[in-house]
Amino acid sequence: MSFNSLGLSESLLKAVNKKGYTQPSPIQQKAIPLILERKDVLASAQTGTGKTAGFVLPILQILSESAPLSRRPIRSLVLTPTRELAAQVYENVKEYSEFVDFRSTVIFGGVNQKPQVNTIRNGVDLLVATPGRLLDLHNQKLLSLASVEIFVLDEADRMLDMGFLKDIQRIIALLPNKRQNLMFSATFSHDIKKLANTILNHPVAVEATPENITAEKVEHRVIRVDKGQKTELTIKLITEGNWKQVLIFTRTKHGANKLCEKLTKSGVSSAAIHGNKAQNARTAALDGFKKGTIRVLVATDIAARGLDIPLLPHVINFELPNISEDYVHRIGRTGRAGASGEALSLVDHEELDYLRGIEKLLSHKIPSEIVSGFEPKDIPSEPKDNTRNFRRPQNNNSGNRPKSNNNRPNDRRR
């Protein structure tokens, strides 16, 4: 299928062409025609599937078909859970709207509100926002949502995880009743379905299989290691493998900071990105990482959510997430846009239940291995084939350590 058959205007096709896309992704093929038919859509799609263009392109088409109203009120609102995702969606809107008469902007907290207010005052057709700043500006009567025709709730599952339900409900109460609604979520829990029922009007459900998980593009690996040795092993893997661009996930902000400090001390340039970092520090870290001046980005799940870092060769789970679906989100950062990638998880004995949950979700076991010199104490006997078999932890009082039959890391540079 080509983009030409989706019913998009020449100006939008030109922008798509400029981006170098040759054909629409599955979610784009499904969602774009439905949105153009003005249907409410409930889409199951995570970052990496091309979901952003899947809603931005048809919105641009719909809104640019009618002449802009003279005072240019906000006609479309895209709500995202994080500042980074908001900034990324806005970047996409700017790129796709390059050849149409269209104004858009983004607002989020942690930065001065004045420039944001000035832009809105001059009139924008589409606003990308995080809930807090949006409500804040609305409460100050600095913006109106009374003309919104199309409402998008992006990464709805993460919105709920971050405790935004009440804010979402407040925002919806500010929108006109008659509007088109689009909701994107990677997972569909009971709460998400309940939220969808309150927002969407006879929605059509569309689904995009998370490409990264099903495709062979991502190699999943587990290295069994004791908690106390993870930092040293991480440094060894990165330096000996000469890995140039690595995204590392930790469970906590404190853990992210600590690891980042140790990496930097070992001469591996790194930056941490999490909720306690000021917005400009987060932006600088992400920019440095994308440009290659920062080799390692250490992130918590929420901060990393939705980050668009194309062609990422290495993702390390320094700690496994305790929610299995978060593994899928993390891995969505690698092997994208047709490139191959590696997802490596460092697993200590306390995390084996999490690993089981993840393997169940993926419907396959992840090859598990041990690195020489980093043998975990909880595996007592010499493993015969530890590259394929998942070994249960056992108490080891003997002090015996297995010899590794696999002296990875290998250099997997492309």
Catalog residues that contact ligand AMP under the rule CB under 6 A: 21, 24-25, 28, 47-53, 308, 310, 337
Q: Which amino acid is at 228?
A: G
Q: Shortest CA distance to 53 belongs to which of 17, 93, 26, 104?
A: 93
- For ligand AMP, the closer of residues 165 and 302 by Cβ is 302
Please give the Cα distance from 174 to 90 (Å, whole number). 22
- For ligand AMP, the closer of residues 53 and 260 by Cβ is 53
* Least distance (Å) between residue 124 CB and ligand AMP: 21
- Structure tokens belonging to residue 214: 């099903």
- For ligand AMP, the closer of residues 240 and 287 by Cβ is 287
Please give the Cα distance from 311 to 332 (Å, whole number). 11
* Least distance (Å) between residue 51 CB and ligand AMP: 5
- For ligand AMP, the closer of residues 161 and 308 by Cβ is 308
* Least distance (Å) between residue 159 CB and ligand AMP: 16
* Least distance (Å) between residue 292 CB and ligand AMP: 17
Looking up tokens 């696999």 gives 406
Query: What is the SS3 string spanning 150-216?
Result: EEEECCHHHHHHCCCHHHHHHHHHCCCCCCEEEEEECCCCHHHHHHHHHHCCCCEEEECCCHHHHCC
- For ligand AMP, the closer of residues 308 and 375 by Cβ is 308
- For ligand AMP, the closer of residues 51 and 158 by Cβ is 51
- Structure tokens belonging to residue 25: 């992704």
In the sheet that holds 126-129, the strands lie side by side as: 104-107, 126-129, 76-79, 150-153, 180-185, 41-44, 204-207
Please give the Cα distance from 299 to 279 (Å, whole number). 14
The answer to whether the beta carbons of residues 161 and 329 sit under 8 Å apart is: no
* Least distance (Å) between residue 16 CB and ligand AMP: 7
- For ligand AMP, the closer of residues 253 and 314 by Cβ is 314
* Least distance (Å) between residue 3 CB and ligand AMP: 7
Q: Shortest CA distance to 249 belongs to which of 184, 175, 169, 312?
A: 312
* Least distance (Å) between residue 47 CB and ligand AMP: 4
